[in-house]
């Protein structure tokens, strides 16, 4: 993936849409204040309410307020709802809280827990008709999230496919309701009837308030439909529209802003990083495990984009140096050309310094957020911190190399520069530095990893580290697997080995395991 140091000129519609999104982001403190006012008013009313109907309705409203805003608070008020219903001996109220708990867990990525709640704690045959849409919608969200995230756990959970639940919900929802129309559009999309789905979705978008949360959901659906039809420019405009409505409604568990950040990587890296940082901050505030995990992949992509840019610039520098040597008789012309290039390099350096400042500031903010949540939910954030630290360090080293190259060229020391570049061991040193940084960061998260990993192996096969070693190659491979990176190609790329070497290490360790392979893989993920 390419990454330009000089931002491209954005198309006028996209530029306007992004300016409107920035305005919505700027107004977020005011919107959050209003939301807190609504929440506080509901809590005050709940404290003085006496009847079951009033207390349950107010607690339920608080569940709906917190649902897209904070995972822990949502679960807490679901528990309060259940307590109110239990004290009043209202089975239907208890059933609603259980169904809602299953939906919230599914949306947050706790699929096994959601399945247990919906399958073991809810008797669908005893539900009244008005609760059936909630029940089947929760099952639909669970099945759809599992398929969307390709987690491969469908075989362990006895669920129908998402289309089956869609069809069931279309039988239960009133045909003139938003829920029926939204579900029918989703079903058409799942059947790849994208054009027909867009026609219905356009009518739905025209009938609802542009500042509402349903509008944000339908705008996101429109972006998915455009993506399926290859309409790239329209897709990102609808992603921006959905993100804008999310900010207006103070939604913390959102997906649209992350997609906008991803699509801007090649054309506006400053905005891309700023948006991905906001998405991460909101995901950390919401405090569920799924969204930070997804966002971390885009942070890694940003780092890789910069690495490719550095590699591309390095290749061009080598070509230019060779050409300069071969064209020595044209030194005067080369000097003139060099002067022009130096001016261009100065401008590029300023752009790079500005971007580096953004990255440094963003990294500092990310560190503070990670420190606040280190005891509750730190694994993903510390993993991201490792990559951002490596990125910042690499940029500083690039600046030093760039300064040295300009200095050598300015004084005509071309031969000296070429010798230095040929003799450079920077790549090997950076690999060693990466290993050391990774080992240190990983063991800070999992200090007992080596001991627990060895407990899974036969006594004769336990790994004994050499003096001064923190981790070795086998341990690093399974450390990456513990962090959720299981693809051999990705592991080989990170550790700078061949895919065959990674495969052989995996086979060797699994043969040395004292438990079956399927249990061994599970135990690796349980190391903590």
Could you read off the pLDDT of 470-514 as tens digits, one per residue?
Answer: 898 888 998 898 888 888 899 888 888 898 998 898 888 888 888
Report the candidate in 84, 174, 81, 164 with the shortest Cα–Cα distance to residue 129: 174
Tokens of 415: 């031969």
Helix axes 178-190, 162-172, angle to 10 degrees: 150
Could you read off the pLDDT of 478-488 as tens digits, one per residue?
Answer: 889 888 888 88
Could you read off the pLDDT of 256-288 as tens digits, one per residue?
Answer: 999 999 899 888 888 888 998 898 889 889 988
Query: According to the model, what pLDDT value does residue 273 have?
Result: 86
CB 527 within 8 A of CB 449: yes
Query: According to the model, what pLDDT value does residue 357 have?
Result: 66
- Return the bridge partners of 457, or none: 513
Report the candidate in 147, 144, 183, 191 with the shortest Cα–Cα distance to residue 167: 183
Q: Tabulate helix, strand, coil % of the chain (nearest 5).
A: 80, 0, 20
117, pLDDT greater than 90? yes
CB 142 within 8 A of CB 111: yes
Q: Which residue has the tokens 């002067």?
A: 339
pLDDT-derived band at 355 (thresholds 50, 70, 90) equals: low
Average pLDDT over residues 135-162: 81
Q: How far apart are the first and last CA of the chain?
A: 35
Alpha carbon distance 379, 400 (integer Å): 32
407, pLDDT greater than 50? yes
Q: How far is CA 53 from CA 50, 59, 86, in A?
A: 9, 10, 13
Dihedrals φ, ψ of 368, to 5°? -65, -40
Could you read off the pLDDT of 23-52 as tens digits, one per residue?
Answer: 999 999 999 999 999 999 999 999 999 999
Spatial neighbors of 446 by CB under 8 A, at least 6 apart, are: 452, 479, 482, 527, 528
- Return the bridge partners of 513, or none: 457
Average pLDDT taken over every residue of the chain: 83
Could you read off the pLDDT of 442-458 as tens digits, one per residue?
Answer: 888 888 999 999 998 99
Report the candidate in 266, 352, 360, 350 with the shortest Cα–Cα distance to residue 313: 352
Query: According to the model, what pLDDT value does residue 323 have?
Result: 61
Give how far the C-alpha of residue 127 lies from the chain's centroid of Cα atoms, to the nearest Å.
37
CB 479 within 8 A of CB 448: no
Which three-class secondary structure string do you get for 275-301?
A: HHHHHHHHHHHHCCCHHHHHHHHHHHH
- pTM as predicted: 0.58
**Hey, is 207 helix, strand or coil?**
coil
């Amino acid at each position: 993936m390419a990454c330009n140091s000089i931002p491209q000129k954005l198309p006028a519609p996209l530029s306007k849409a992004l300016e409107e999104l920035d305005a919505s982001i700027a107004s977020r403190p005011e919107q959050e204040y209003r939301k807190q006012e609504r929440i506080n008013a509901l809590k005050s009313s709940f404290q003085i309410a006496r009847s079951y109907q009033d207390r349950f309705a107010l607690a339920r409203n608080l569940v709906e307020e917190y649902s897209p805003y904070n995972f822990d608070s949502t679960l807490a008020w679901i528990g309060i709802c259940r307590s109110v219903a239990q004290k009043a001996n209202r089975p239907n109220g208890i059933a609603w809280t259980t169904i809602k708990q299953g939906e919230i867990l599914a949306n947050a990525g706790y699929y096994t827990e959601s399945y247990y709640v919906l399958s073991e704690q809810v008797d669908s045959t005893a539900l009244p008709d008005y609760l059936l849409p909630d029940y089947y919608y929760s099952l639909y969200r669970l099945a759809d999230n599992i398929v969307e995230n390709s987690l491969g756990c469908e075989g362990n959970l006895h669920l129908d496919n998402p289309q089956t639940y869609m069809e069931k919900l279309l039988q239960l929802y009133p045909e003139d309701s938003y829920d029926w129309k939204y579900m029918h559009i989703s079903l058409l999309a799942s059947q790849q009837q994208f054009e027909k789905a867009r026609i219905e979705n356009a009518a739905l978008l025209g009938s609802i308030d542009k500042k509402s949360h349903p509008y944000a959901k339908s705008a996101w659906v429109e972006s998915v439909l455009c993506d399926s039809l290859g309409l790239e420019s329209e897709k990102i405009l609808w992603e921006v529209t959905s993100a804008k409505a999310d900010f207006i409604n103070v939604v913390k568990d959102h997906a649209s802003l992350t997609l906008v950040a991803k699509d801007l990587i090649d054309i506006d890296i400053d905005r891309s990083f700023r948006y991905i940082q906001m998405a991460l901050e909101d995901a950390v505030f919401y405090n569920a495990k799924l969204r930070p995990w997804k966002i971390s992949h885009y942070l890694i992509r940003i780092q890789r984009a910069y690495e490719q840019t550095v590699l591309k610039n390095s290749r061009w520098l080598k070509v230019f140096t060779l050409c300069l040597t071969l064209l020595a008789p044209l030194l005067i012309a080369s000097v003139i050309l060099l002067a022009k290039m130096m001016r261009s390099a100065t401008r590029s350096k300023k752009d790079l310094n500005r971007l580096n400042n953004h990255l440094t500031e963003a990294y500092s903010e990310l560190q503070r957020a990670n420190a606040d949540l280190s005891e509750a939910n730190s694994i993903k954030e510390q993993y991201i911190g490792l990559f951002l630290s490596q990125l910042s360090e690499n940029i500083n080293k690039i600046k030093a190399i760039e300064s040295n190259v300009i200095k050598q060229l300015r004084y005509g020391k071309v031969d000296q520069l070429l010798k230095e570049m040929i003799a450079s061991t920077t790549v090997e040193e950076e690999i060693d530095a990466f290993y050391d940084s990774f080992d240190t960061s990983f063991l800070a998260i999992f200090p007992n990893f080596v001991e627990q990993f060895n407990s899974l192996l036969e006594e004769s096969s336990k790994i004994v580290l050499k003096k001064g070693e923190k981790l070795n190659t086998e341990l690093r491979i399974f450390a990456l697997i513990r962090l959720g990176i299981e693809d051999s190609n990705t592991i080989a790329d990170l550790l700078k080995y061949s895919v065959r070497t990674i495969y052989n290490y995996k086979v060797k360790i699994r043969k040395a395991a004292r438990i079956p392979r399927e249990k061994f893989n599970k135990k690796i993920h349980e190391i903590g």
